[in-house]
Amino acid sequence: MKTLTTIALALATVATGPLSANDIRTESVSAEAKWLLHLNLDVFRETAMGSYLSESFIKPRADETPMGFRIKTEDIYEGIHAITAYGNTYQVDTDAIGVLLVRMEENLKSIFEATLIQQEAAGGESPDIKTIQTDPYTVYTKGNELFAAILPRDVVVISKSLDQLVSAVDVVEDRAPGLDESDSDFSEMTRADDTFFFLATAEGFNQSGAIPPQARVLRMAEAARLALGEGTEDVFLNLTLMAQNETVRDQLAKIVQGLLALISLSQIDNQ
């Protein structure tokens, strides 16, 4: 039986709570996903970190229009609810290894699409941005290197692979199974409550040759989840590792406890 060991860290004190609710729309994520990154901007904007980002970087550039789009930086920051990236491979010899789901306000999505249409019209006979599909949904491309699907729902799907984009849209529009229909361990690892604004989870990475020797502890885990959030006073991190059995779980726990002890000693030495 596979078992979990959970480690909670805080920048000042240890703080943890069970991960229970699910902000991630798992029905829009492919059942074949092996890794996932999720940023809940609605939660992040309410944190001290989000406020600092807004005051220091967003508001001073509020009227800028990044990447040539006629959408103000502040409107983008306030209009996006969440960003989810996922993929079903760890292949490193290709740039197209996943898709991006951007959940946004309807008016921001309309402005985004209108900007794409305007840029295509302004491009003449060889526009950098062009429409390659209008039915059953619209797909735009930027130099045939980046593709975006504008869906009737509040989601824009982006990928460097047209095939992966089409597959992702099939999931969002219920033509292919989502992660919510899976009883896999990975599906369970995507759960996080509203105190977390960032979550990263992956499974099967222990078989990847990309793990460096310094991170060999990860080879003992079959899956991992990292969640970042902010409490009343502290920013905290919750790390969950999934092991094949209790023996490996206990070994992982001892290794991590040793690392925590080293961190504690380092904090004392720096005082």
Separation CA 146–CA 141 (nearest Å): 6
Residue whose entry in the numeric block shows the structure tokens 């060999």: 216
Integer-rounded Cα radius of gyration of the chain: 21
Beta strands in 162-206 (DSSP E): 196-203
Torsion of CA 128, 151, 25, 51, to 10 degrees: 60
Beta strands in the chain (DSSP E): 3-10, 35-40, 80-87, 99-104, 129-133, 138-142, 146-150, 155-159, 196-203, 223-230, 235-243
Q: 104 by DSSP, 3-state: which?
A: strand
φ, ψ for residue 87, nearest 5 deg: -160, 170
The Cα angle at residue 62 between residues 57 and 66, in degrees rounded to 5: 85
- pLDDT of 260 reads 62
- pLDDT of 57 reads 86
- pLDDT of 20 reads 37
- pLDDT of 225 reads 83
Residues 6+ apart with CB under 8 A from 55: none
Task: Work out the burial of residue 159: count CB atoms within 10 Å of its CB; fewer than 13 is exposed, 13-18 middle, 19 or more buried.
Answer: buried
pLDDT of 66-99, one tens digit each?
A: 655 667 788 888 999 999 999 988 766 566 679 9
Query: Which parts of the chain register pLDDT below 70?
Result: 1-23, 62, 64-70, 91-96, 192-194, 205-221, 233, 244-253, 255-271
Separation CA 139–CA 150 (nearest Å): 6
